[in-house]
Amino acid sequence: MFSAFSLNDRLLKSIDKIGFREPTPVQAQVIPLAIAGKDLLVSAETGSGKTAAFLLPTLHRLLIREAPLSGTRVLILAPTRELARQILKHFKQLSGFTHLQAALVSGGHDFKYQRALFRKNPEVIIATPGRLVEHISQGTPDFNDLEVLIIDEADRMLDMGFSEDMATIVNQCNDARQTLLFSATLGHKGIQGIASRLLTKPVSVSLSSAKTPHSDISQQIILADHVRHKEHLLAWLLAHETYEKALVFSNTRAQADRLGGFIRYHKQKAAVLHGEMDQKERNRVMDLFRRGHVNILIATDVAARGLDVQGVDLVINFEMARSGDDYVHRIGRTGRAGRQGLAISLISSPEWNLMASIERYLKVKFERRSISELTGAYKGPKKLKSSGKAAGSKKKKLVKKAAAKAGTKKKPAKASKDHRPNQAGPKKRRPATDAARDGFAPLKRRKNPDENT
């Protein structure tokens, strides 16, 4: 029961109104520790209820001690605009019976308007790092009175190249603050580093790592011969599965756009969300999906980050996610807060090893499924290594290497249908230009602040 936390009555009233009955495990652990003023390092997956876990104790703190004359009291940093918007939405729900105000400071919105928001001196600022640093460079924000700093999805933040921006922001913050750091995984390379810099005597809360997807999500794979075959499978699944809302993931913006057209051609209502859409358009698409005017959303990973939509019960990976963590983020969109979900990945031959390595990484075995009227020729590798990967690929590589050493140039193999450029092969390197094309953040490289912030 939430009442056991002795949260402020106005917050309990909101919780009741929203309809939360029991705290989720992350809320049960985080809320009392945060109320006690501890710095926290929390690993919690998307969909675990982490947003309310940091908002409730923070709002409680603001309510039990009024401070009308202080500057910003709480700063919440999120890696993407979408996530920042979700946090603001949660804030509004939870603070509905209070006077507390929050302002959203993220890319894609008018800069001058945001400067005016700072002047209104809301208690809470929810920001993406790139845009906030721009405001800091103009001397607008005042974080000298800051009481709580919250960093959400810190691992994503590092992946997106925001570590320098984070350092700039933290330099502006009151040292006496409480800091709550949330990350999908604590195993991420840079997390321990920023934790030791930002947190004071932190308590670590590790419920389930990103490696543990919800147990209430069924995870399946269906083998596919090529892109065309995948399209048939996709159309079949969207027509035959029972779902309220479906999310289809593609690795590139171009593919997402193409699939949008394809699904609409099959007379289904679909919308596309990718990182290069302007904020207005993204909001419009999200609104259509949330309200159920379209029940299929095709998205790239960056675009879908932080997406929180009720009723998503089917996730289809048209192309396999590029890493285990990305896979978990994708399927975390379904089976949220106790709902049953289904995640299906369409796997073609070049994706087999990637799929096998994700199985190994997550210590799961995806259920093999086939659709009788659409079974293809590809049945998986003939021989498997103990890792589950295809046997023989390394040998071929060695032969190739030896041939190259001996100066015998092998004729490049003719591109088969399976190796079309928009398919994600496990060993394929993306050209640098892809980062701009598909809305993905280049790893460890500083992003243009206007892009996805």
Q: Which is nearer to ligand AMP, 221 or 314 (CB)?
A: 314
Q: For residues 93 and 323, which CB has a smaller minimum distance to ligand AMP in the complex?
A: 93
Q: How far is CA 188 from CA 88, 362, 410, 426, in A?
A: 26, 15, 40, 21
User: What are the structure tokens assigned to 49, written together?
Assistant: 């209820």
CB of 308 to ligand AMP, least distance (A): 5
Cβ count within 10 A of residue 290: 16
Is residue 343 helix, strand or coil? strand
Nearer to ligand AMP, 24 or 250 (CB): 24
Identify the three-state secondary structure at position 87. helix
Binding status of residue 51 toward ligand AMP by CB under 6 A: yes
What single string gives the DSSP state of each residue in 19-84?
T--S--HHHHHHHHHHHTT--EEEE--TTSSHHHHHHHHHHHHHHHS--TT-S--EEEE-SSHHHH
Q: Are strands 217-224 and 367-369 parallel, antiparallel or unpaired?
A: parallel
Least Å distance, CB 119 to ligand AMP, is 30
Rule CB under 6 A: is residue 425 a binding residue for ligand AMP? no
Cβ distance to ligand AMP smaller for residue 312 or 435: 312
Regarding beta strands 341-348 and 178-183, do their DSSP bridges make them parallel or antiparallel, or are they unpaired?
Answer: unpaired
Span interacting with ligand AMP, options 44-52, 98-106, 317-325, 444-452, rule CB under 6 A: 44-52
Contact code string over 291-320 relative to ligand AMP, x by CB under 6 A: -----------------x------------
Question: Among 11, 14, 20, 185, which residue sits at the site for ligand AMP (rule: CB under 6 A)?
Answer: 20
Convert residues 98-127 into a mask of x (bound to ligand AMP by CB under 6 A) and - (unbound): ------------------------------
CB 430 within 8 A of CB 300: no
DSSP 336: G
Q: Binder to ligand AMP among 8, 24, 58, 317 (CB under 6 A)?
A: 24
Q: How far is the CB of 440 from ligand AMP (least distance, A)?
A: 22
Question: Of 11 and 259, which has the nearer Cβ to ligand AMP?
Answer: 11
Question: d(Cα 330, Cα 335) in Å, to the nearest integer?
Answer: 11
User: Where does this chain bind ligand AMP (CB under 6 A)?
Assistant: 20, 22-24, 27, 46-52, 308, 336-337
